[in-house]
Homo-oligomer: A and B are copies of this chain.
Amino acid sequence: LINEKHAMHNPVAELHPFDAAIRLQTLGDGVSRGTTSADYWNLAGPFGGVTAAVLLQAILEHPRRQGEPVAITVNFCAALPKGSFEVAVRETRSGRSTQHWSAEMVDPDRRICATASVVCGVRREVWSHQSARAPAMPPAETIAPFPPVIPSAWLNRYQFRFAEGAPVIRERDSALSGPASRMWVNDWPRRPLDFVGLTALSDTFLIRILHVRGYMVPIGTITMSTYFFADSAQLAAQGDRPLIATADGGIFSGGFSDQTAALWSDQGQLLATSSQVVWYRE
């Protein structure tokens, strides 16, 4: 995919940094190689959303893949070091309605750093009903993008415009805040929406402990599941405009906390839901 804003200024179309970050070279037999991205680096490893997108991309590029993504679960086992990595994908089982895949990402020492399971499926013309309602939002252009609160490169690759629940950095032992946020979110530079982009977007929400306590502690997502409720045409119709997003959490217990999120088109269509467990220390 080409970033049109860049392309207009450049006779040689430039790859969006996200597409560069998830680019894979096929080595054959379900194995491909990629390289970690400085643009999407986190504090001690790649941004998990890009790791998830790379694992999905490897499955989407497989010649036996049928249908479109319905669900992805990613388990983050260990930080991937800077440099090259390999992804191996395997078709687990294919049926009439769904196709199951698994994927593993290994570092140059062949240690597993992340695993994924993906379900693909064919969406059909059946009774459909959205009981969930997108939250009311002021227009995106009336809210300034929130400045990055931690020195992670990947935060510069997204824009967050909070309508509610922006994190407020404050003294330790201040009163607790609520965990819920409501915002507009988009890639930066903007990028037309697709399944890999939506997968990464579902992991962009700042950890809830920062919202609740007002300061950072060591954290890491250990598992994330994102479910898709739109097809590729519906994602394409959203284009590169900001998505409506909500993020919340309910518990921080013994070093493990939950986080849930929902991502909506700017027309209020529920595109994806996501949940994750975050390890924390303090």
Contacts and interface: CB of A to CB of B under 8 A. Distances in A.
A41 B273 CA distance: 30
Interface in A112-170: 112-113, 115, 117, 119, 121-132
Contacts of A92: 75, 77, 104, 112, 115
Is chain A's interface secondary structure helix, strand, loop, or mixed overall? strand
A153 to B, nearest CB: 24
Contact of A277 (B122, B223, B227, B279): B227
A218 to B, nearest CB: 10
Contacts of A262: 250
Given A115-B117, A119-B277, A222 B255 contact: no
Interface in A14-66: none
Query: In which size bucket is the chain A interface?
Result: 35 or more
A198 to B, nearest CB: 14
A275 interface: yes
B222 A124 contact: no
A38 to B, nearest CB: 25
Contacts of A123: 253-256
A251 B275 CA distance: 16
Interface in A247-274: 249-256, 258, 260, 262, 270, 273
A134 to B, nearest CB: 10
Contacts of A77: 92-93, 95, 98, 100
Most chain B beta-carbon neighbours within 10 Å: one of A112, A124, A253: A253
A132 to B, nearest CB: 3
A102 interface: yes
Given A75-B119, A77-B93, A256-B229, A212 B273 contact: no
A13 interface: no
A171 interface: no
Contacts of A4: none
A240 B143 CA distance: 51
Contacts of A95: 77-78
Contacts of A280: 126
Interface in A208-251: 212-213, 222-223, 225, 227, 229-231, 249-251
Nearest to A273: B258
A142 to B, nearest CB: 27
A71 interface: yes
Query: Which 5 residue pairs are nearest across A and B when measured between Cβ atoms?
Result: A132-B250, A123-B254, A77-B93, A73-B73, A229-B253
